[in-house]
Amino acid sequence: MLDQYPVADFLNWLDENTLKINREYQRSAKVWSTPAKAYFIDTILRGYPIPKIYLRTRIHAATRRAYREVVDGQQRLTAITSYVNDEFSLGNSVEMYGEFAGLKYSQLGEAQQNILGYMIPVEQLMNVPDSVVINIFQRLNTYNYNLSSQELRHGKYQGAFKNAVVEASHRWDYLWSNYRIVGNRARIRMADDELMAQMFGILLEGVTDGGQTKIGRLYKIYNDEFPQSIVKGVDDTIRYILDNLEAVLETEIVRAPHFLMLFASVAYARLSIPKGDMGDDMPMRNPDALTDVSEAISNLSVLAEALEQDTMSVPYHLTGFKEASSSSTQRIRSRRIRFPWYYKALLPFPV
């Protein structure tokens, strides 16, 4: 039976000892970090939906009172009670937490009502035996998905690099909403933040081997201190692409792995970037790059056409580019082939 109850009711039930968390039904996963709890509280403050909580409810005939056990939702309720008890504050990023940045519950003022009045969806299991509860919980676990690597990073790190990534990802929402460089379904799993982190990585360390370990390393190394010049460089590069090469974003190059190499080539042409893991495959910088924008668009369109064609139809000289674009695009062996082609496309002669 699906119901809704305000947070205030849950707090009252806890005070009255008519609600308990039955840890026999809880997962063995780690307790949420403070950043993860803060992000969840911000969700409630803004009235955004959260997953429903499962309660087993029993009616005690003698006292005519309802007693509830939390079957699924321990972490969510613990985050709420901890925040209401002033045990942590929200993060300091204004871009992320807005007017609530850095505040504890006691400092919210009237916004406390946003929490107390928030309606939590509840699936009530009325008077069901343990065997049924266990079976239901097992099924819930079966269909739950694991957090993505980016979601885990988002909860683990709360420093300079993470904040810069989140702010830039919000600032350049145009890329995701207008061109679907990262689709809405992937954005739910924070793939837009992940791509933005990789763009920062290009300016910081050049074209390197990719993968989740490499991205996580960026978050760790630059957690305490992150150069703002990199933010400016990323903004300038994206703005140049939108102002001058936007037509290319109507092609297959709009897909995230290809867009990343386009971003890298434009950044190399306009700002220079470190050599990274390119080795001897790093192309020499050419002062003529991007001097003829119309030619660059034409060349990039040729590469885009190769991406769309089957291997047998691709021009012979582009077969290596096509094969590299069809393999593990995050690996350096693919990027050592693809990046030089994107940079070559920016030069004022046909590819």
| 41-69 pLDDT, tens digit each | 999 999 999 889 999 888 887 878 888 98
Cβ-based neighbour number of residue 228 at 10 Å: 9
Question: Is residue 107 one of the residues assigned to a domain?
Answer: yes
Q: Are residues 164 and 302 in the same domain?
A: yes
- Same domain for 77 and 169, yes or no, is no
d(CA 243, CA 260): 17
350 within some domain = no
pLDDT of residue 29: 46
Using CA atoms, how far apart are residues 152 and 149, in angstroms rounded to an integer?
A: 5
Domain that residue 244 falls in: 151-345
Which pLDDT value is given to residue 26? Answer: 53
pLDDT of the residue at 24: 56
Phi first, then psi: give them for residue 259, nearest 5 degrees. Answer: -60, -35
Assigned domain for 125 exists: yes
- Number of domains observed in the structure of the chain: 2
Last residue of a domain, one of 125, 144, 163: 144
Residue 239: the pLDDT is 97
Q: What is the pLDDT of residue 8?
A: 96
Last residue of a domain, one of 144, 168, 200: 144
Question: Which DSSP string corresponds to 102-139?
Answer: T--GGG-GGGHHHHHTPEEEEEEEET--HHHHHHHHHH
- Report, in angstroms and rounded to the nearest whole number, the Rg of the chain calculated over CA atoms: 25
The pLDDT score that the predictor gives to residue 157 is 82
- Note whether residue 187 is domain-resident: yes
165 in a domain, yes or no? yes
The residue from 144, 177, 212 where one domain ends is: 144
CB atoms near residue 82 (< 10 Å): 16
pTM for the full predicted model: 0.70
Residues 6+ apart with CB under 8 A from 204: 218, 222, 230, 274
Same domain for 189 and 327, yes or no, is yes
Residue 224 sits in the same domain as residue 266: yes
263 shares a domain with 328: yes
Shared-domain flag, residues 163 and 115:
no
Residue 138 and residue 39 share a domain: yes
Whether 315 and 195 share a structural domain? yes
Same domain, 103 and 202: no
Q: 3-class secondary structure for 220-241? A: HHCCCCCCHHHHHHHHHHHHHH
To the nearest 10 degrees (0 to 180), the angle between helices 228-244 and 160-171 is: 20
Judge if 84 and 211 occupy the same domain. no
Provide DSSP, 307-344. HHS-GGGS-GGGHHHHHHHHS-TTSHHHHHHHHHHHHH
In tens, the pLDDT along 255-269 reads 999 999 999 999 999
- The single residue listed with the structure tokens 């307790």 is 31
Please give the pLDDT value at position 199: 98
End-to-end CA gap in the chain:
64
Q: Are residues 231 and 280 in the same domain?
A: yes
On whether both 209 and 332 belong to a single domain, the answer is yes
Per-residue model confidence (pLDDT) at position 28: 43
Give me the half-sphere count of Cα atoms (radius 13 Å) on the Cβ side of residue 312. 0
Name the stretches of the chain with pLDDT < 70: 1, 22-30, 134, 137-138, 140-147
d(CA 298, CA 345): 8
Please report whether residue 351 resides in a domain: no
Q: Is residue 37 one of the residues assigned to a domain?
A: yes
| Domain-located, residue 221 | yes
